[in-house]
Amino acid sequence: MATLPAPTHNPGIPMKRDWSTAFRALGKLLANGDDTHQVFRIMRALNGDVTQRNYRRLLTLPNGGRLAYRRLELATRLTDRGWIDSFAEGTVGAAYRQFLDSTGYTADGLAELSMAEGAFQGVDVEHPYAWMGRRERDIHDLWHVLTGYKASEHLGEACLVAFSYAQTGGLGWGFIAMGAAFKSLRVTGSTDFLKAVIEGYRHGKRAEWLHGEDYEALMAEPIDQARQRLGIAEPARYRIAQAELEAAGLKGI
């Protein structure tokens, strides 16, 4: 593993919440949903000690200590195209491959965004909590695949961040989800977007804790079987809202 730079902030010390930064970043994100840098600014401003708490929780799981000890860098694994291409059709890995091909997204592209000035600095250092932060970042697109929430639309992102809030307890996720939901309510006058976001949160609460998964093993598992095992429900409200927005030509809100 390459040597990482010395931290400018000690990842062992929880970040203080910065509401003014969070509100400014949310305003920019709602004005331009493609400005992904703002997501990481909000995470940095509001998530406090969530990564530390999730790391400690990981260590309590039967397989968690092994995962933490290995410190696999998922961004590196998920950019290995030969590995990604090796998965049989119908598996999580094959669905992720289709996701990459259809969106043009990459794991290293997400990592680069997180390192942007003013975004999520301090995650690229040698520290257990920083590793956990990278893990939380790098599985985001895999969660799109597992949940069925599309990354190419604002509704899908809003539902996934609500799901992520339920899974992680990170206040930044919930802040973004509610901001997007209330913007939609103001623009469309319909509650379907809000209901879909609430559904995402409920599904996140009911599902198994996905941070504890061995993602190398999960990639080879049939996706329907993985969803059933993990308790990831069908996103019914999301599909209703998705159809409504498409009919109204408002996918980009």
The radius of gyration of the chain from alpha carbons, rounded to an integer in Å, stands at 18
Q: Which of 168, 158, 153, 150 is nearest to 204 (CA)?
A: 168
pLDDT, tens only, 26-63: 999 999 888 888 988 999 899 989 999 999 999 999 99
d(CA 36, CA 59) in angstroms, rounded, equals: 30
Beta-carbon neighbour count of residue 59 at 10 Å?
Answer: 12
CB 134 within 8 A of CB 123: yes
Q: Which of 133, 148, 135, 143 is nearest to 50 (CA)?
A: 133
Please tell me what DSSP assigns to residue 32: -
pLDDT, tens only, 99-124: 999 998 887 777 666 665 444 555 67
Q: Which of 130, 125, 141 is nearest to 219 (CA)?
A: 141
pTM of the entire predicted model: 0.89
Q: Which of 135, 146, 153 is nearest to 95 (CA)?
A: 146
> What is the per-residue pLDDT for 19?
95
> What is the per-residue pLDDT for 237?
96
d(CA 111, CA 124) in angstroms, rounded, equals: 9
What is the DSSP secondary-structure string of 114-153?
A: HTSTTSSTT-SSSSHHHHHHHHHHHTHHHHHHHH---TTS
What's the whole-number mean pLDDT along residues 11-31? 89
What's the whole-number mean pLDDT along residues 169-183? 94
Please tell me what DSSP assigns to residue 119: S
d(CA 95, CA 176) in angstroms, rounded, equals: 26
Beta-carbon neighbour count of residue 42 at 10 Å?
Answer: 29
pLDDT, tens only, 187-213: 888 899 999 999 999 999 999 999 999
Local structure of 155: helix, strand or coil: helix
Helix (H) or strand (E) run with residue 188 in it? helix 171-188
